[in-house]
């Protein structure tokens, strides 16, 4: 590939990154912060920042002292401090955390290039991941998933350095523990990053053992130090070790039995055609593997998909340790993107007709992504709906005014009061009518209830009976 072509691909990469960030800005400013109950964890960052700003170090540490996604709250002190300077808007932290999502796209580029793939194949991977709705819509929320995924991909990247140095093993372990501490549910990705580093070439026993020991030690030492310090200053809520154990037993909302099928249902609800592309790419890459292809990117993509999916199934269906949620399935996306990129690269380099077919497939992906992005971009959330309702002239009699479903629904919609001659003034889709959100802790029966009930947010006028 000549320098001119390489520069062209890098310009396209920069355009993808800029457009991805702008799209996240649009999402953030359309609202949605604090819709999920889990977003309230960010308030601990705000409390810590306020205490730190006031010189209360003990108060700052006390606010952060809880096991659930510990590092996310520590990192959250940065945007929380910005809020103190610029104003309390939750859009400030949402924009801050969305930067980790965009940085994850750049890491995909670096991982493919480090694995020896062409700039075009790397660009395919970045473009496919950027066009995944599942990789986009959480950017508006104050949640740790994208930040944790960033650290997991960073661990994967440094673990592929060639030649492999001791510092690479150290950094792989450190970034892996950062991924785990940022969002505990992505321990699977953290484990895979260290496993991929351990089993990289050369596959001789002593180098593999050395990489496993150093990366494992680099993972364990910061975690053990944190737990030891916590034990020394244990609060009434217990130390972090006790909290980790207690928190690990709370991932029980939903159904253990559907751990094997939920990833497919969830991805279909958010990606549609892209799932079919992923299935074709998986078959293509398995065929390449059977025929003796051992390219680094192919092995990374296949092993990532099977390790993460297999771990989710074993720990949910077999061991019943945790329920699989949509947010856990997101760990598969980078590896699915790698496989799809290799498939498209294979088409591109096969024949002139294959090149045309690869362009056609990417065109269909863009069209499908535009359709997939439509609902998240136009979605109205309860806080925004309440502001709309506040602008509507109120009736003289307060018993004629009713707001319906303007709240986070769990586990099922509350009964609607009986009203005679109800007249809808304004209405909007409820966020839980966006189907991917229904795979976050709901059972199949609860999802069916959400889909068969009219849960649109409404402002109605009627006299209650």
CB atoms within 10 A of CB 401: 16
Same domain? 148 vs 216: yes
Distance CA 275, CA 363 (A): 15
Q: Would you state the pLDDT for residue 2?
A: 66
Q: Would you state the pLDDT for residue 236?
A: 55
Q: Would you state the pLDDT for residue 1?
A: 59
Pick left, alpha or beta for residue 434 (phi over 0 → left; psi -120 to 50 → alpha; otherwise beta). Answer: beta
Q: Quote the number of domains for the chain.
A: 2
Q: Would you state the pLDDT for residue 237?
A: 57
pLDDT along the chain (465 residues), means of 10: 79 97 98 96 97 93 89 97 96 98 98 95 98 97 98 97 93 98 96 96 91 97 91 70 82 94 97 96 98 96 98 97 97 98 96 93 97 96 94 72 93 85 91 98 96 95 69
**Chain position carrying tokens 């960033």:** 150
Domain range spanning residue 201? 3-378
Distance CA 257, CA 3 (A): 52
Q: Would you state the pLDDT for residue 190?
A: 98
Last residue of a domain, one of 332, 359, 378: 378
CB environment 34-43: b (16+ within 10 A), e (fewer): bbbebbebbe
H or E stretch at 402: strand 401-404
Closest CA to 74 of 62, 64, 60, 59: 64
Q: Would you state the pLDDT for residue 361?
A: 97
Q: Would you state the pLDDT for residue 421?
A: 75
Same domain? 120 vs 199: yes
Same domain? 47 vs 178: yes
Same domain? 390 vs 366: no
Same domain? 289 vs 433: no
Same domain? 183 vs 167: yes
Same domain? 101 vs 166: yes
Query: Whole-model pTM?
Result: 0.95
């Amino acid at each position: 590939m000549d320098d001119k072509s390489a520069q062209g691909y890098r310009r396209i990469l920069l355009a993808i990154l800029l457009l991805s960030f702008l799209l996240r800005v649009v999402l953030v400013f359309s609202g949605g912060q604090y819709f999920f109950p889990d977003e309230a964890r960010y308030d601990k960052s705000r409390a810590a920042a306020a205490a730190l700003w006031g010189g209360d170090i003990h108060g700052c540490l006390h606010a952060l002292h809880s096991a659930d996604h510990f590092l996310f709250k520590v990192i959250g002190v940065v945007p929380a401090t910005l809020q103190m300077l610029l104003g309390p808007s939750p859009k400030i932290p949402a924009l801050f955390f969305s930067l980790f999502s965009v940085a994850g796209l750049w890491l995909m580029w670096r991982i493919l290039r480090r694995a020896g793939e062409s700039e075009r194949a790397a660009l395919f991977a970045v473009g496919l991941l950027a066009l995944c709705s599942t990789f986009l819509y959480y950017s508006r929320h104050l949640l740790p998933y994208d930040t944790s995924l960033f650290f997991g991909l960073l661990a994967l990247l440094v673990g592929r350095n060639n030649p492999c140095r001791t510092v690479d093993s150290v950094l792989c372990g450190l970034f892996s523990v950062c991924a785990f501490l940022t969002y505990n549910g992505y321990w699977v990705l953290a484990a895979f990053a260290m496993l991929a580093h351990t089993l990289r070439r050369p596959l001789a026993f002593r180098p593999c053992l050395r990489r496993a020991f150093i990366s494992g030690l680099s993972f364990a030492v910061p975690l053990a130090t944190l737990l030891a310090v916590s034990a020394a200053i244990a609060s009434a809520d217990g130390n972090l070790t006790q909290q980790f154990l207690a928190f690990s037993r709370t991932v029980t909302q939903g159904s253990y039995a559907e751990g094997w099928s939920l990833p497919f249902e969830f991805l279909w609800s958010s990606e549609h055609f892209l799932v079919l592309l992923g299935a074709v790419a998986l078959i293509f890459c398995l065929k390449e593997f059977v025929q003796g292809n051992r390219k680094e990117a192919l092995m990374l993509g296949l092993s990532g998909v099977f390790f993460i999916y297999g771990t989710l199934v074993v720990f949910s269906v077999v061991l019943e340790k945790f329920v699989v949620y949509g947010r856990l399935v997101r760990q598969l996306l980078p590896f699915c993107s790698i496989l799809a990129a290799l498939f498209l690269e294979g088409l591109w380099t096969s024949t002139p007709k294959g090149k045309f077919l690869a362009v056609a497939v990417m065109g269909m992906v863009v069209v499908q992504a535009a359709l997939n992005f439509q609902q998240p971009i136009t979605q109205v959330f309860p806080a925004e709906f309440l502001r709309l309702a506040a602008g509507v002239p109120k009736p003289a009699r307060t018993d004629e005014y009713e707001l319906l479903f303007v709240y986070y629904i769990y586990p099922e919609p509350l009964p609607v009061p009986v009203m005679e001659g109800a007249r809808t003034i304004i209405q909007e889709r409820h966020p839980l009518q966006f189907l991917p959100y229904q795979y976050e802790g709901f059972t199949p029966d609860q999802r069916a209830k959400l889909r068969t009930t009219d849960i649109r947010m409404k402002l109605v006028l009627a006299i209650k009976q």
